[in-house]
């Protein structure tokens, strides 16, 4: 088999076989096929697209290119959850203890990642002593004993995807639906779950800006997962404004804890219950959405979900007293109030821009090597649809120094748009597949 022939076949609109896809993935992972040939193939795929069959073969070849997590020692149906990401997305922190309290074992591999804030792992490190650097044995033991464990992503999980994603990033071939779907799903399949619930975001703060593209991506990922023998479900949710009110790291952990105490923001609470319902159904706990929702609400009211978070934090070396007293989670010392510049209704928020404000404060990573400040962030007192009077508090900025606040406030104010007429926020849940 020759890479040249594979490129030519795809360039001319042919359908690649499983053998051809495995040949290029294995050769590329081992360093036997050069970047220039693979980038040429990526561009051919970008223009000619891939069939469902090709997309599945690519996903499985990447999933099998390195280590796969073996979760067979864990009893029950293991349900994972993946979000395509956005601003203020702290969903896993509240969702996983809730579904665990309802009987779904949570064995999750999470990343740090680049972005406006840290990933789930960074956020969890706001608990003093907490570590995700646990052995596979401890990971399995904790899931069986407590019902929940989260470990850091190993370097060797789907290494082909890692290499290919980096190449796509510099060759203008990221935004192809099949390539995105296979990239995400290869990592999820390698992480060993029996069932996967996807949270596909849509809007100005999401990877997919339009609802049409978000539905198409969700459908493509659900098809891959089902063809790979996984139970699948996808929720398409709004990311046209930040989720909840907290954006940052420790501040998002506080908000997730308040949600587990039944005091969370309405939109965030609703999303967590919607995703949780899908997880309980895929996990075989119940087939009724109403019953699933009741169980989740009960786990909050009874304090069981909060106790699960505490047990999980403690089992991974963290101080569980912070779970019961979230105000102990340290926030940055400089607090600046951003005031509304005029009377009116908030009509729109440039969601990505709020994320950039968090990044400017030091709450996210610009490069893999950057340090991140877990204490900085923003709290949005007002969101789309809210009425404000000039001078009223729009938001609060938590910064490590005075100098950082000026440019952040300037950028923040440009991201908030006002109108004289009453405006309604977008629907949060756009659909479920
Ligand atoms: N996230 C991924 O993991 N892969 C992509 O291709 C795009 C987003």
- 67-76 pLDDT, tens digit per residue, is 888 888 888 8
Q: Tell me the CA–centroid distance for residue 366 and ligand 1, in Å.
A: 17
pLDDT at 113 over 80: no
Among the CATH numbers 3.40.50.2300, 3.40.1030.10, 2.40.170.20, 3.40.50.300, which is that of 79-326? 3.40.1030.10
Q: What percent of the chain has pLDDT over 70?
A: 99
Q: Tell me the CA–centroid distance for residue 148 and ligand 1, in Å.
A: 26
Indicate where the chain has its CATH 3.40.1030.10 domain(s): 79-326
Alpha-carbon dihedral angle through residues 106, 268, 358, 201, given to the nearest 10 degrees: 80
Q: In the prediction, which pLDDT does 169 show?
A: 83
pLDDT tens-digit map of 297-348: 999 999 999 999 999 999 999 999 999 999 999 999 999 999 999 999 999 9
The residues assigned a catalytic role are: 82, 161, 168, 183, 187
Indicate where the chain has its CATH 3.90.1170.30 domain(s): 330-419
Is the model more confident about 114 or about 138? 138
Q: Report residue 111's pLDDT band, with 50, 70 and 90 as the boundaries.
A: confident
Q: Specify the residue with its C-alpha closest to ligand 1, atom 2.
A: 184
| b/e 11-32 (16+ beta carbons within 10 angstroms → b) | eeeeebeeebbbbbbebbbeee
> Which atom of ligand 1 lies closest to the CA of 183?
4
Q: Specify the residue with its C-alpha closest to ligand 1, atom 3.
A: 184
pLDDT tens-digit map of 175-205: 899 999 999 999 999 988 899 999 999 998 8
Q: In the prediction, which pLDDT does 13 show?
A: 96
Q: In the prediction, which pLDDT does 19 show?
A: 97
Regarding the beta carbon of 180 and ligand 1, being less than 6 Å apart is answered yes
Regarding the beta carbon of 183 and ligand 1, being less than 6 Å apart is answered yes
CATH superfamily of 330-419: Pyrimidine nucleoside phosphorylase-like, C-terminal domain (3.90.1170.30)
- Mean pLDDT value of segment 54-73: 92
Q: Tell me the CA–centroid distance for residue 165 and ligand 1, in Å.
A: 7
> Which atom of ligand 1 lies closest to the CA of 179?
6
- Mean pLDDT value of segment 220-232: 94
pLDDT tens-digit map of 122-167: 899 999 999 988 888 888 889 999 999 988 876 688 999 989 988 9
Alpha-carbon distance of 99 to 10, in angstroms, equals 44
Alpha-carbon distance of 328 to 314, in angstroms, equals 16
Q: In the prediction, which pLDDT does 282 show?
A: 96
Indicate where the chain has its CATH 1.20.970.10 domain(s): 3-48
Regarding the beta carbon of 174 and ligand 1, being less than 6 Å apart is answered yes
Angle of CA points 319, 321, 323, to nearest 5°: 95
Q: Which of 112, 165, 191 to mutate to test the pocket of ligand 1 (most atoms within 8 A of CB)?
A: 165
Q: Tell me the CA–centroid distance for residue 247 and ligand 1, in Å.
A: 22
Is the model more confident about 137 or about 114? 137
Q: Where are the alpha helices (DSSP H) in 325-401?
A: 351-361
Sign of CA dihedral 328, 308, 71, 222: negative
Q: Which residue is it, tokens 């019961």?
A: 324
Q: In the prediction, which pLDDT does 114 show?
A: 60
Among the CATH numbers 3.50.50.60, 3.90.1150.10, 1.20.970.10, 3.90.245.10, which is that of 3-48? 1.20.970.10
pLDDT tens-digit map of 398-412: 999 999 999 999 999
Alpha-carbon distance of 278 to 287, in angstroms, equals 9
Regarding the beta carbon of 184 and ligand 1, being less than 6 Å apart is answered yes
Q: Specify the residue with its C-alpha closest to ligand 1, atom 6.
A: 180
Q: What percent of the chain has pLDDT over 90?
A: 78
- Mean pLDDT value of segment 95-118: 85
Alpha-carbon distance of 155 to 159, in angstroms, equals 7
Regarding the beta carbon of 46 and ligand 1, being less than 6 Å apart is answered no
Q: In the prediction, which pLDDT does 155 show?
A: 60
Q: The pTM is what? A: 0.90
């Amino acid at each position: 088999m020759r890479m040249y022939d594979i490129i030519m076949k795809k360039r001319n609109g042919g359908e690649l076989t499983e053998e051809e896809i495995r040949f290029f993935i294995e050769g590329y992972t081992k360093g036997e096929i050069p970047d220039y040939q693979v980038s040429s193939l990526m561009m051919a795929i970008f223009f000619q697209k891939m069939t469902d069959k090709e997309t599945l073969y690519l996903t499985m070849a990447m999933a099998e290119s390195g280590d796969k997590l073996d979760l067979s020692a864990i009893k029950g149906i293991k349900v994972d959850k993946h979000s395509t990401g956005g601003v203020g997305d702290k969903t896993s922190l509240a969702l996983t203890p809730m579904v665990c309290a309802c009987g779904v074992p949570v064995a999750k591999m999470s990343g740090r990642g680049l972005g406006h804030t840290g990933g789930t792992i960074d956020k969890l490190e706001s608990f003093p002593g907490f570590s995700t650097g646990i052995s596979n044995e401890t990971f399995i033991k904790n899931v069986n004993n407590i019902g929940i464990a989260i470990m850091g992503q190993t370097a060797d999980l789907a290494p082909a995807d890692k290499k290919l994603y980096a190449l796509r990033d510099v060759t203008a071939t990221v935004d192809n639906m099949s390539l995105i779907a296979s990239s995400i799903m290869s990592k999820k399949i390698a992480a060993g779950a029996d069932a996967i619930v996807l949270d596909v975001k849509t809007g100005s703060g999401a990877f997919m800006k339009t609802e049409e593209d978000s539905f198409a991506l969700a459908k493509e990922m659900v098809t891959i997962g089902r063809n790979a023998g996984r139970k699948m479900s996808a929720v398409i949710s709004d990311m046209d404004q930040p989720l909840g009110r907290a954006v940052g790291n420790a501040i998002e952990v506080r908000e997730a804890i308040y949600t587990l105490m039944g005091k969370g923001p309405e939109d965030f609470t609703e999303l967590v219950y919607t995703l949780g319902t899908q997880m309980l159904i895929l996990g075989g706990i119940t087939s009724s959405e109403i019953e699933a929702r009741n169980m989740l609400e009960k786990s909050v009211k009874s304090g069981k979900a909060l106790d699960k978070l505490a047990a999980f934090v403690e089992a991974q070396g963290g101080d569980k007293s912070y779970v019961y007293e979230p105000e102990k989670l340290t926030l940055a010392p400089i607090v600046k109030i951003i005031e509304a510049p005029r009377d009116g209704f908030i009509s729109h928020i440039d969601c990505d821009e709020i994320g950039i404000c968090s990044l400017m404060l030091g709450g996210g990573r610009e490069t893999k090597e950057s340090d991140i400040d877990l204490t900085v962030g923003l709290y949005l007192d007002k969101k789309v649809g809210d009425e404000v009077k000039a001078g009223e508090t729009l938001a609060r900025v938590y910064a490590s120094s005075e100098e950082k606040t000026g440019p952040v406030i300037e950028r923040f104010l440009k991201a908030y748009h006002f109108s004289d007429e009453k405006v309604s926020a977008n629907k949060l849940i756009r659909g479920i597949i």
